[in-house]
Amino acid sequence: MKKLLFAVASLALGFGAFAQEGADTLAISKDVQPRNAVIEEYTGNLCTWCPDGHKRVSDFAKTYPGRVVPINIHTGGFAQLYETPYGSAIEGQTDLQGYPSGSVNRKINYNSKKVTAYDRGQWAAVGGNIMKEESPVNIAAKAEINGQTREMTVTVKVYYTKDLEQDFSLVNVLLMQNNILGPQTGMDKNPEQIVDGQYRHMHMLRDMITGQWGDTIAKDVVKKLSRIDTIMTTNVIDTVISDDNDTTYTYDTVYTYDSIYAIPAGTYIVKQYTYTVPETIKTDDSHSEVVFGDLDVVVFITDGHDADAPNIKGPNIWTGLTIEPSYTEMEGVGANITGVTLTPDVACKNAAFPIVTIRNNHSTTIESVELEYTNAATNSTVTYEWKGSVELFKTATIVCENPIEVESGKSNTVSVKIVKINGIEIEDAKASTAKITRSVANSGPAPIKITLKTDKNCSQISWTVVDSEGNVLKEGGHYEGSKIMRDTIILEDLADGCYSFVLVDEGNDGATSGNYKIYDALDNILASNTTGEWAGGEAADFKVGEVSLIDVNDNIFQSIVYPNPAKDMMTLSLNAVNSDNATINVVDLTGRTVINLGNQNIKSGENLININTSNLENGMYYVRVITRSGMVVNKFSVAK
pLDDT tens column, 150-185: 999 999 999 999 999 888 999 999 999 999 999 999
In a domain, 23, yes or no: no
Q: Tell me, letter by letter, the H, E, C secondary structure of 200-231.
A: EECCEEEEECCCCCCEEECHHHCEEEEEEEEE
528 and 611 within one domain: no
621 and 480 within one domain: no
Please tell me the distance from the alpha carbon of residue 630 to that of residue 635, in angstroms, as a whole number. 17
* Model pLDDT, residue 536: 75
| Overall pTM > 0.95 | no
In a domain, 24, yes or no: no
7 and 120 within one domain: yes
**Domain end position, chosen among 391, 419, 437:** 437
107 and 60 within one domain: yes
195 and 286 within one domain: yes
Q: How confident is the model at residue 545 (pLDDT cuts 50, 70, 90)?
A: confident
Distances (CA, A) of 152 to 68, 85, 316, 389: 24, 21, 27, 28
pLDDT tens column, 32-73: 999 999 999 999 999 999 999 999 999 999 999 999 999 999
CA 118 to chain centre: 23
466, 347 Cβ separation under 8 angstroms:
yes
230 and 122 within one domain: no
194 and 299 within one domain: yes
In a domain, 192, yes or no: yes
CA 79 to chain centre: 17
DSSP summary character for residue 35:
P
Amino acid at 351: A
Which helix (H) or strand (E) element contains residue 425?
A: strand 424-425
Please tell me the distance from the alpha carbon of residue 414 to that of residue 382, in angstroms, as a whole number. 11
In a domain, 346, yes or no: yes
- Is the pLDDT reported for residue 244 higher than 60? no
Please tell me the distance from the alpha carbon of residue 493 to that of residue 192, in angstroms, as a whole number. 39
pLDDT tens column, 385-420: 999 999 999 999 999 999 999 988 778 899 999 999
461 and 402 within one domain: no
Using CB atoms within 10 A of its CB, is residue 169 exposed (0-12), middle (13-18) or buried (19+)? buried
CA 522 to chain centre: 42
Domain that holds residue 98: 2-15+30-220+265-328
- Sequence-ordered strand ranges (E) for 222-350: 223-241, 248-262, 267-276, 280-283, 286-289, 295-303, 317-323, 326-328, 335-344
Tell me, what CATH number does 451's domain have? 2.60.40
pLDDT tens column, 421-441: 999 999 888 898 888 877 778
389 and 503 within one domain: no
* Model pLDDT, residue 225: 67
Higher pLDDT, 556 or 453: 453
pLDDT tens column, 581-640: 888 889 887 777 899 998 888 888 889 999 999 999 999 888 888 766 567 788 899 998
User: Buried (b) or exposed (e) across 577-609, using 16+ Cβ within 10 A?
Assistant: eeebebebbbbbbebeeebebeeeebeeeebeb
Question: How many domains are there within the chain?
Answer: 5
465 and 406 within one domain: no
311 and 172 within one domain: yes
